[in-house]
Structure 1
Amino acid sequence: MSKATKALSALRAISGRHTTITIDGEDFEVFGLSGAAIVDLMFRFPEVKSIIATAKEQLAAGKGVLAIIDEIDSSDLLALGEDVVGAAIAWALHAGTDDEAEGFARDLPASVQILILKASFQRTFPDKLEGFLKALGLSLASEADESGNQTDSNSGSQN
C-alpha cells in the first residue's frame, strides 16, 4: 500500500467522526469545526477576527489564555451576535454557509444552541483547549502564573 493510499485511508477514517446528540427525539450529527470553518467565521464576521487579534496580542505579551478569557467583556460576546452563532452551528452540522441552515440555527432556543456548540467544541478540541494550546506551544497560564506568582483576578494584586 502506497503512502498516499495509507494517508487517504486514515483521513477517511477520521473525517466522519462526529458526536450524535438527541434533541426532542431528533438525532443530530455534530462535527468539530475545520480550519476552513474557523477562517470563514473570522472573515465573514470581523468581530470574531477582532477578538482573536486582541487575544493574540495579549498572548504575545505573556498573558495566559485563562486571564484573556476572563477579561472578555460580555459586550464583546454580544457584539458577535446571533449571526455568528447561527453560522457556527451550521458549520458544526456540516451545512457550511447555507443561509437557510444558518437562519434556523440562529433561531434555536439558547439551550439547544449550547448543546450543539458544546458537542462541536469537544470535537474541534478533542484534547480540550489546553491540549490544543499545548500543541501550539502556548499555555493556559501566564508567564507570571507559571513562575509561581499568583494574581488575584478580582483585585489585580499578587499573592
Structure 2
Amino acid sequence: MMDELQAVETFLGGLLGKLQPAARRAAMRDIARELRRSQQTRIVAQQNPDGSRYAARKPRTKPGGKLRDKRGRIKRAAMFAKLRTARYLKTEADANGLAIGFAGRVARVARVHQLGETDRVAPGGVEYRYPARVLLGFTDAEREMIRDRLLQHLTK
C-alpha cells in the first residue's frame, strides 16, 4: 500500500506544486470525494483492488452438522455494509494532501481484514485468522481518475 502511495506522490508531486494552495485544496477535496465513492462501490462489489473477489466467510456448522439456530445465526448479507458508509469511511483533504480511512472503533476491524490479522470472533471468544480482504487500495481506474481530476484542475 505504501509503495502505491509513493508512486502516486512522485508522479503527481510536481504537478501539485504548480497549483495555488486554494486550488490544491479544492483538487484534493474533489479527488478524495471521488476516491471514497469508488472505494465504496468496490466494497459493495466485494472485490479487492486487483479485481479478485473477497475471500468467502468461513462456513460454520453445529457439531450435528446443522446450521446455527436463530439465536446464533450466521449473517449471510454482504460484508462491511456499515463500514463503507460515510459515517465510518472518512476523508480529509487540505492543500498538502488527502487521506481516506476508517474512523473510530471500526478502524480496528478494518485493519484486521485489510491485513489478514488474527482477532477474536467475539469478546472472550475464540481467535481466528481472518483472510486478507483489501478494503482500501488503488485500482488502475482510480489512478487514471486521480490523474484526470488533477489535470482538470490544472487546466482551469
TM-score bucket (shorter structure): under 0.3
The structure, 1 or 2, with the larger RCO (C-alpha pairs under 8 Å, 6+ apart) is 2
Higher strand fraction: Structure 1 or Structure 2? Answer: 2
Higher helix fraction: Structure 1 or Structure 2? Answer: 1
Q: Give TM-score scaled by structure 2 length.
A: 0.23
